[in-house]
Amino acid sequence: MIPRTVAKVSLLCACVLGGGLAAERPAPKAKSFTEILASSQPSDWRPLDPDNTLYLELASGRVVIELAPTFAPRHAANLKTLVREKYFDGLAFVRSQDNYVVQWADPVEVGGRSLGTAAASLPPEFTTPWTPNLPFTRLADRDGYAPQVGFSQGFPVGRDPKRKEVWLTHCYGAVGVARDSDPTSGSGSSLYVVTGHAPRHLDRNFCVIGRVVLGMEKLSVLPRGTGALGFYEKPEQRTPILALRLASGVAPGERTELEVLRTDTKTWTALVEARRNRRDDWYKVPAGYIELGNLPIPVRPTPK
């Protein structure tokens, strides 16, 4: 909602992390997003797996990334090798292109830092075979970029039943593997994060390896680079990466304990409907539709 005055905000319910569009008053007929979330059960939430959670440490704070090894097993394994060997520590964001992506890499580039025991190139994992044991909560709403879209293991995915393929989609916060035009040239040594309107045309063309679950606001404000494609033209414009760590390699007391709402629950389905047709007083015309890119997944600190 877009209230006219700041004073109005004191009337608003606080938004949970990852929510962001609260209702000013309880809806008369249907529960609002905020109400549905408030009545969620502990079983609606899942903890992040420390072995598949990355902490990207910046001067501005920590960004938390959830890896999706199911959808990019080789790239996830290679990335974990790079992380364990501290490949990224001291590298930097080299690019910020408005309404598109930020990207980090070895600024020295060709002939730069050794990849250690990690592979320098990998077979592409732009899609992965669909198997019936993969969970899939299909979104009823028609999508332009994929025959079907929905959620699998908490990630927004596309699915092609004919080709029996599934893939992670380039929604806001998606983390992908940069590469050259050779599809085998990606290794995970340079990654990007979607900071703009979902560039879904990248789906099935680049390997998405996970998504940012906390701290997007630290990446989305990185000053835009003035070079071609938003690359920075001067080294001092780059934002340094202090460290990139696996959560399981961080002492338990120093971890960011988070829970993510499960996308295979009735609560999630109700939240999707609350976004598809917003019925609080602010909305005069319910959309009757929700796009995959307009469904951020709620995240919260793990209750004590």
User: By C-beta, is 10 or 41 nearer to a second copy?
Assistant: 10
List the interface residues with a second copy, window 136-165 (CB under 8 A): 141-145
Question: Closest distance between a second copy and the C-beta of residue 51, in Å?
Answer: 26
**Chosen residue from 26, 47, 123, 221 binding a second copy by CB under 8 A:** 221
Stretch that binds a second copy, among 78-86, 188-196, 239-247, 265-273 (CB under 8 A): 188-196
**Chosen residue from 70, 153, 169, 190 binding a second copy by CB under 8 A:** 190
Tokens 């060997």, located at residue: 85
List the interface residues with a second copy, window 71-100 (CB under 8 A): 94-95, 97-100
**Chosen residue from 62, 245, 278, 300 binding a second copy by CB under 8 A:** 278
Q: How far apart are CA 132 and CA 152, in angstroms?
A: 12
For 266, residues 6+ apart whose C-beta sits below 8 A from its C-beta are: none
Stretch that binds a second copy, among 48-56, 79-87, 102-110, 147-155 (CB under 8 A): 102-110
**Chosen residue from 40, 103, 237, 267 binding a second copy by CB under 8 A:** 103
H helices of the chain, where? Answer: 33-38, 73-84, 216-219, 266-276
In the three-class reduction of DSSP (H, G, I as helix; E, B as strand; rest coil), residue 133 is classed as coil
- Amino acid 290 reads I
- HSE value, Cβ hemisphere, 13 Å, CA-based, for 4: 1
Question: Closest distance between a second copy and the C-beta of residue 53, in Å?
Answer: 20
User: By C-beta, is 47 or 223 nearer to a second copy?
Assistant: 223
Q: How far apart are CA 119 and CA 113, in angstroms?
A: 13
**Chosen residue from 222, 258, 272, 297 binding a second copy by CB under 8 A:** 222
- HSE value, Cβ hemisphere, 13 Å, CA-based, for 204: 11
List the interface residues with a second copy, window 29-48 (CB under 8 A): none
Is residue 279 near a second copy by the rule CB under 8 A?
A: no
Question: Closest distance between a second copy and the C-beta of residue 127, in Å?
Answer: 9
Q: How far apart are CA 172 and CA 176, in angstroms?
A: 11
Q: How far apart are CA 284 and CA 219, in angstroms?
A: 34
Question: Closest distance between a second copy and the C-beta of residue 36, in Å?
Answer: 16
How many other CB atoms are found less than 10 A from the CB of residue 126? 21
